[in-house]
Amino acid sequence: MNGKKFLNLPAERCDPETARYLILPVPYEGTVCFLNGTIKGPEAVLAVSDQMEHFDEELLIDFTRRGIATLPPIPPADTPEEEFDRIYATVKHYDFFRTGRFPIILGGEHSVTPPVVRAAAEIYEDLSVLQFDAHADLRDSYTGGRYSHASAMRRVLDWTPHLVQAGVRSFSEEEYRDYHEQIFRILTPKMITENLHGSLERILYGLTENVYITIDVDVFDPSLAPGTGTPEPGGLNWQQVTGILRKVCATKKIVGADLVETAPLGGRNVITEFLAARLIAKIITYTS
């Protein structure tokens, strides 16, 4: 990783001791089953980030003003179980949630999310999770076992029952059957496109006061984010995702976030990395 940082900030704006926002790179892809490369995601996102303006064009603020530090990456573990333990221990070590600092976990595959949610749920009893994803990820196990990326949200449900899924358009019959009582908490791209206002109401209704946000870049239409492990057609667009984020961040207390499954295509196609970096900037802007 050779110490790449988010943005090229002056020292006083990227000091881990004082920054409100702490970016934690987790280059892990232990259970990927289709296109690989997400292990290179964090470094690629950080590498393009200094091409961005520090001024947000919507809210008209310098989103770096409260400080954004990039922490050392977590070295990948050999097994999904070890990786879970390693991420959980690191989050506990930094104690983000008790100290009121805002972690942004930069994956890596989606299995990096459950240990962070576990640590957050220990501090916030009513924690809910807002997931942006093409996939439900609710299988109890998959190739790679119970800690597979395809079981990420099933493992999240081990720590909180409050889960809202936006942009989901791919799930198995079993996932649908097992969780059919919760299907009203899935907002498909079709629902969001046909009725954004109604979808926002349902999203807010399903969330508690304290919210953790997890974003799989495959929630976007693959034409907008082609560099990902499992591109699914018919995804959300930039205005839809940022519109939902803006409303949720203005209404709830967001305690942290992650952005996962960026898998760089290489060469000159940095569309996905750039979108990911901009999305991190938006999360910071909306929660500043």
Q: Which residues form the interface with Mn ion (CB under 5 A)?
A: 133-135, 216, 218
For residues 152 and 148, what is the distance between their CA atoms, to the nearest angstrom? 6
Least distance to Mn ion, CB of residue 219, Å: 7
| Those residues with Cβ within 8 angstroms of residue 161's Cβ, 6 or more apart along the chain or in another chain | none
For residues 221 and 231, what is the distance between their CA atoms, to the nearest angstrom? 8
The percent helix, strand, coil of the chain (3-state, each to 5) is 40, 20, 40
For residues 111 and 180, what is the distance between their CA atoms, to the nearest angstrom? 23
Least distance to Mn ion, CB of residue 52, Å: 25
Least distance to Mn ion, CB of residue 162, Å: 20
Least distance to Mn ion, CB of residue 221, Å: 13
Q: Is 226 within 8 Å of 271 (Cβ atoms)? A: yes
Nearer to Mn ion, 87 or 134 (CB): 134
> Cα-flanking dihedrals φ and ψ of residue 212, to 5°?
-105, 135
Nearer to Mn ion, 19 or 217 (CB): 217
Least distance to Mn ion, CB of residue 136, Å: 9
Nearer to Mn ion, 109 or 273 (CB): 109
Nearer to Mn ion, 124 or 171 (CB): 171
Nearer to Mn ion, 111 or 285 (CB): 111
